[in-house]
C-alpha cells in the first residue's frame, strides 16, 4: 500500500500498475504476448499505469524540458506570434485561459501544441497539416525528435493492444498512416495566489491512449470509489492512460479515466503525447461482436476536432460565427466513469 494525499488528508491505496514494455522489441511472440497480458490487466482494472522500458531515451526528454523552459520564459508578444488560432492544423501557442473543460474555471497553464507535421497538399484536415513553429532556433528539431521517439513507442503499444484484444499484432498499422497525434508541451507556472484555480480541469483524453512525461507531481485521477487520488512520479517511467477511442474499441473493457492537475505548488512542465488513429478511420468496438456492442461508431478525426472545438476559445468563436461546423458532436464528458468531481 502506498500513501497518497487527497485534500491534504493522507489515505492509502495500492500503487498504480507498472508494466515493463522492454520485451515489445523482442522477435519472440511469446515475449510480446507476456507484455500484452500485463497491459491488458492494468488497463482493464485501472486505465492508468506506469510504463518503463529499455526503449526510453532520457536525453530527448531532458532536451525537451530545456527547450520548453526557454520558450515559456519568452515575453507574451513573442509567444503570441505563434498563437494556435493562426495555425492550419491546431498547432502553436496556447495562452492561459484559452481552453476550458465542462463546468470548469480557466486552467492555470500555458502550452505549445505540436501535431504530426503533415506537409503534403492533399488529404489535409482541420487537425492535419503543417505545424506552426516559433521563431526559436532548435525548437522544431527538439520537439520533433521527442515526437518521433515517443510515437515509435506508441506504435509498439498499438501492436501490444492488438495482441491484448486477441488480434494480430499488425491490426492497427493500416489505420495509422498519418494519425493526428498531438504532443503538448505544457507549462504550469507557480502561482501561490490561485487557490481556486486548477492547473487543468477534470477530463478524459479523446484519443486512444496517452504517454506522459512530467517534471513534478500534480496529476490526479478518479478511482472507482469516486475519490480524487494523487499520481506520484516514479523516476525512469512514463505515465500511460486510456482515452475515449480505446474505450470504444475495447467495447468498454478499458475505461477512459477522468483526471486533472491540481493547483500547482511548484513550477511544473508536462509532455503528454496523445496517440490517435488516422483522421478518416471509423472507431467502433473491435471485440465482443456486433450484438453486444455498447458503443456507436464515430470517425476518429471528427471526434477529435469536435471535442477540441468545444474546449478552445478560438474554435468556439468560429463555431459561434458559423465559420466552422461540427458533425454530430459527442458532448464533452461522454466517456469514462460518470462520477461527480469532488
196: pLDDT strictly greater than 60: no
Give domain status of residue 124, yes or no. Answer: yes
In Å, what is the CA distance from 103 to each residue of 109, 224, 227? Answer: 17, 21, 18
Q: pLDDT value at position 337?
A: 58
Q: What is the pLDDT of residues 109-130, one digit of tens each?
A: 899 999 999 999 999 998 999 9
Residues 6+ away with beta carbon under 8 Å from 242:
43, 47, 48, 205, 208, 209, 254, 255, 256, 257
Q: pLDDT value at position 292?
A: 73
Can you tell me the mean pLDDT for 242-265? Answer: 87
- Kindly indicate the confidence band of residue 265, based on its pLDDT and cuts at 50, 70 and 90: confident
Give domain status of residue 170, yes or no. Answer: yes
Helices (H), the chain: 29-45, 58-72, 76-80, 139-164, 244-249, 300-309, 313-321
Give domain status of residue 56, yes or no. Answer: yes
Helix %, strand %, coil % for the chain, to 5? 30, 25, 50
- Kindly indicate the confidence band of residue 11, based on its pLDDT and cuts at 50, 70 and 90: very low
Is the distance from CB of 222 to CB of 228 less than 8 angstroms?
yes
Cα(40)–Cα(56) distance, integer angstroms? 21
Mean pLDDT value across the chain: 87
Q: pLDDT value at position 328?
A: 76
Give domain status of residue 327, yes or no. Answer: no
Helix (H, G, I), strand (E, B) or coil at 329: coil
324: pLDDT strictly greater than 70: yes
Q: pLDDT value at position 295?
A: 86
C-alpha cell of residue 30: 511469446
Could you tell me the residue range of the domain that residue 181 belongs to? 2-321
Tell me the whole-structure pTM to 2 decimals.
Answer: 0.89
- Kindly indicate the confidence band of residue 332, based on its pLDDT and cuts at 50, 70 and 90: low
146: pLDDT strictly greater than 70: yes
296: pLDDT strictly greater than 80: yes
6: pLDDT strictly greater than 50: no
Helix (H, G, I), strand (E, B) or coil at 298: strand
Cα(215)–Cα(187) distance, integer angstroms? 10
Q: What is the pLDDT of residues 61-87, one digit of tens each?
A: 999 999 999 999 999 999 999 999 999
- Kindly indicate the confidence band of residue 103, based on its pLDDT and cuts at 50, 70 and 90: low
Nearest to 200 by CA among 265, 260, 113: 260
Q: pLDDT value at position 8?
A: 46
More confident residue, 335 or 190: 190
Is the distance from CB of 206 to CB of 303 less than 8 angstroms?
yes
Give domain status of residue 43, yes or no. Answer: yes
- Give ∠ CA 296-297-300 in degrees, rounded to 5: 140
Helix (H, G, I), strand (E, B) or coil at 25: helix
Can you tell me the mean pLDDT for 144-155? Answer: 98
Give domain status of residue 194, yes or no. Answer: yes
Give domain status of residue 70, yes or no. Answer: yes
C-alpha cell of residue 296: 456507436
3: pLDDT strictly greater than 70: no
Rg of the chain on CA atoms, in Å: 19
- Residue 93 belongs to a domain with what CATH number? 2.60.120.330
Which string of b and e fits 142-173 if b means at least 16 CB within 10 Å? bbbbbbebbbebbebbbbbbbbbbeeebebbe
Give domain status of residue 342, yes or no. Answer: no
Provide the number of structural domains found in the chain.
Answer: 1
Q: pLDDT value at position 336?
A: 62
Cα(185)–Cα(69) distance, integer angstroms? 10
Nearest to 31 by CA among 172, 159, 175, 118: 159
Lowest mean pLDDT among 155-164, 224-233, 286-295: 286-295
- Kindly indicate the confidence band of residue 329, based on its pLDDT and cuts at 50, 70 and 90: confident
280: pLDDT strictly greater than 50: yes
Secondary structure string (H, E, C) spanning 158-170: HHHHHHHCCCCCC
Can you tell me the mean pLDDT for 324-328? Answer: 84
Dump the DSSP string for 196-237: T--SEEEE--SSSEEEEEESS--EEEE-TTS-EEE----TT-
Can you tell me the mean pLDDT for 149-155? Answer: 98
Q: What is the pLDDT of residues 14-65, one digit of tens each?
A: 469 999 999 999 999 999 999 999 999 999 998 899 999 999 999 999 999 9
Q: Are strands 182-188 and 200-203 parallel, antiparallel or unpaired?
A: unpaired
Amino acid at each position: 500500500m502506498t500513501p497518497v494525499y487527497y485534500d491534504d488528508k493522507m489515505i492509502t491505496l495500492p500503487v498504480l500498475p507498472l508494466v515493463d514494455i522492454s520485451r515489445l522489441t523482442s522477435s519472440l511472440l511469446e515475449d510480446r504476448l507476456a507484455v500484452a497480458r500485463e497491459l491488458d490487466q492494468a488497463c482493464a482494472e485501472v486505465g492508468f499505469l506506469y510504463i518503463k522500458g529499455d526503449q526510453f531515451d532520457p536525453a530527448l526528454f531532458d532536451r525537451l524540458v530545456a527547450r520548453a523552459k526557454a520558450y515559456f520564459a519568452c515575453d507574451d508578444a513573442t509567444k503570441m506570434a505563434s498563437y494556435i488560432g493562426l495555425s492550419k492544423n491546431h498547432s502553436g501557442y496556447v495562452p492561459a485561459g484559452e481552453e476550458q473543460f465542462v463546468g470548469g474555471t480557466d486552467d492555470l497553464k500555458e502550452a505549445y501544441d505540436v501535431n504530426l507535421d503533415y506537409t503534403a497538399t492533399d488529404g489535409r484536415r482541420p487537425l492535419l497539416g503543417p505545424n506552426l513553429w516559433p521563431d526559436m532556433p532548435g525548437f522544431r528539431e527538439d520537439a520533433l525528435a521527442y515526437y518521433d521517439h515517443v510515437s515509435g513507442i506508441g506504435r509498439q503499444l498499438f501492436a501490444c493492444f492488438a495482441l491484448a484484444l486477441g488480434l494480430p499484432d499488425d491490426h492497427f498499422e493500416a489505420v495509422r498512416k498519418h494519425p493526428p497525434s498531438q504532443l503538448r508541451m505544457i507549462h504550469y507556472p507557480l502561482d501561490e495566489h490561485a487557490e481556486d484555480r486548477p492547473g487543468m480541469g477534470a477530463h478524459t483524453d479523446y484519443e486512444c491512449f496517452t504517454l506522459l512525461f512530467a517534471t513534478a507531481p500534480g496529476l490526479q485521477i478518479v478511482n472507482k470509489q469516486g475519490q480524487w487520488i494523487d499520481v506520484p512520479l516514479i523516476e525512469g517511467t512514463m505515465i500511460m492512460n486510456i482515452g475515449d477511442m480505446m474505450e470504444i474499441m475495447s467495447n468498454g473493457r478499458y475505461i477512459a479515466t477522468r483526471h486533472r492537475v491540481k493547483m500547482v505548488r511548484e513550477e511544473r512542465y508536462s509532455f503528454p503525447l496523445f496517440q490517435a488513429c488516422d483522421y478518416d478511420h471509423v472507431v467502433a468496438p473491435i471485440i465482443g461482436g456486433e450484438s453486444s456492442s455498447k458503443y456507436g461508431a464515430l470517425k476518429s478525426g471528427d471526434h477529435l476536432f469536435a471535442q477540441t472545438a468545444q474546449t478552445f476559445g478560438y474554435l468556439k468563436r468560429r463555431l459561434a460565427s458559423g465559420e466552422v461546423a461540427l458533425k454530430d458532436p459527442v458532448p464533452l464528458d461522454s466517456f469514462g466513469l460518470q462520477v461527480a468531481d469532488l
